[in-house]
């Protein structure tokens, strides 16, 4: 089983312009592979989720389904803002790898005028193995009840 040794924001600009498609931040992730990963050349998908955290971090719940994985926050009083997601396909072919991943944040669209606001960015990283658990929600549907 692979291990995420570290994940941190390597490059954060002093100012981020809302509404553009430019990569705003760079996430540095270090991953260490187990000897069995290397022997089998295991494949993983690395997911990087960027949030604006408000107070205590939401409890992350991962719905792992290879290339459709998602993460949800469980909170009781407020919700962190999801700002971006990146997915990278990784093959275990050396003991440790270091990745620098640029991400353009989804901050909304600017309308007439400008205003300043600060954000506290944090990244949640998770590895989903090619051989492992798979999960998926159904699409929502509605039915009528008769009393």
Per-residue b or e along 71-80, where b marks 16 or more CB atoms closer than 10 Å to that residue's CB:
bebeeeeeeb
Residue whose pair of structure tokens reads 């312009």 in the numeric block: 17
Rounded-to-integer distance, Cα 94 and Cα 32, Å: 8
Greater pLDDT, 128 or 143: 128
The verdict on pTM exceeding 0.75 is yes
Question: pLDDT tens digit string along 11-26?
Answer: 777 776 666 666 678 9
At 16 the three-state DSSP class reads: coil
Question: pLDDT tens digit string along 110-129?
Answer: 455 545 466 678 888 988 88
Do residues 5 and 46 lie in contact, with contact meaning Cβ atoms separated by under 8 Å? no
Question: pLDDT tens digit string along 52-79?
Answer: 777 776 677 888 877 887 777 666 666 6
Q: Is the pLDDT of residue 43 over 70?
A: yes
């Amino acid at each position: 089983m692979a291990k995420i040794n570290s994940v941190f924001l390597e490059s954060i600009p002093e100012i981020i312009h809302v509404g553009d498609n430019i990569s705003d931040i760079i996430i540095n992730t270090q991953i260490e592979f187990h000897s069995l990963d290397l022997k089998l050349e295991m494949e993983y998908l690395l997911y990087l989720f960027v949030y604006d955290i408000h107070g205590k971090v939401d409890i992350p719940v991962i719905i792992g389904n290879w290339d459709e994985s998602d993460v949800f926050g469980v909170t009781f009083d407020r919700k962190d803002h999801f700002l971006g997601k990146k997915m990278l396909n990784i093959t275990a072919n050396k003991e440790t790898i270091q990745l620098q991943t640029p991400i353009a944040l989804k901050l909304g669209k600017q309308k007439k005028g400008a205003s300043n606001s600060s954000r506290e960015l944090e990244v949640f990283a998770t590895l989903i193995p090619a051989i492992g658990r798979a999960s998926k929600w159904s699409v929502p549907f509605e039915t009528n009840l008769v009393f």
